[in-house]
Amino acid sequence: MDPKVWMYLVYLVVSVGLTVWVATTLSRNGLVFLTEVFADDKLARAINQLLVMGFYLLNLGYVTVTMRSSQSITDTSQALETLSSKVGLVLLVLGVLHFLNVFFLGRYRRGRLRQQQPVPPLPPAGRLPFHPQNPPPPARA
């Protein structure tokens, strides 16, 4: 079989495996974070499922779009080099997606916590006058 076909097969297996592993890990461990962010267990579970589905769609779509290689691959070393760059790009996309999720959910959480803080009773009505203390005049000798 052609080395390029083997590279494609290994790329698909590794990329899909990484995607499933990262998605299940984020889903399991991210539920605690989402429950804190949304303060509602049922809503957190629903959003967790939606995030996992979006994660799968984005990442697997990226994997399939970038699977094609225009390089001519004649031996195993070229196949491994191309494979490593493709898997590296998949890992970078996984990392960027994770970072963006955490960043935007953290911003939402900070805004929600800010809204829950009590409002000060009244703003100040004015200022008291400030009179600097004048030093006493020097004593005469």
Higher pLDDT, 124 or 98: 98
pLDDT given at position 120 = 67
Q: What is the mean pLDDT of residues 108-121?
A: 78
In the structure, what pLDDT confidence band is assigned to residue 141 with cuts at 50, 70 and 90?
low
**Pair of tokens at residue 1:** 């079989």
Q: Let me know: does 52 contact 123? Beta carbons within 8 Å.
A: no
**Pair of tokens at residue 82:** 């191309």
Within 13 Å and on the Cβ side, how many CA atoms surround 91?
Answer: 8
Residue the block writes with tokens 């009505």 = 125
pLDDT digits (tens, 9 = 90+) for 38-97: 888 999 999 899 989 988 998 889 888 888 877 788 888 888 888 888 888 888 888 888
- C-alpha span between 62 and 92 (Å, rounded): 11
User: Burial letters for 122-139: b for 16+ Cβ neighbours within 10 Å, e otherwise?
Assistant: eeeeeeeeeeeeeeeeee
- Tell me the backbone φ, ψ of residue 13, rounded to 5 degrees: -65, -45
Q: What is the mean pLDDT of residues 102-128?
A: 79
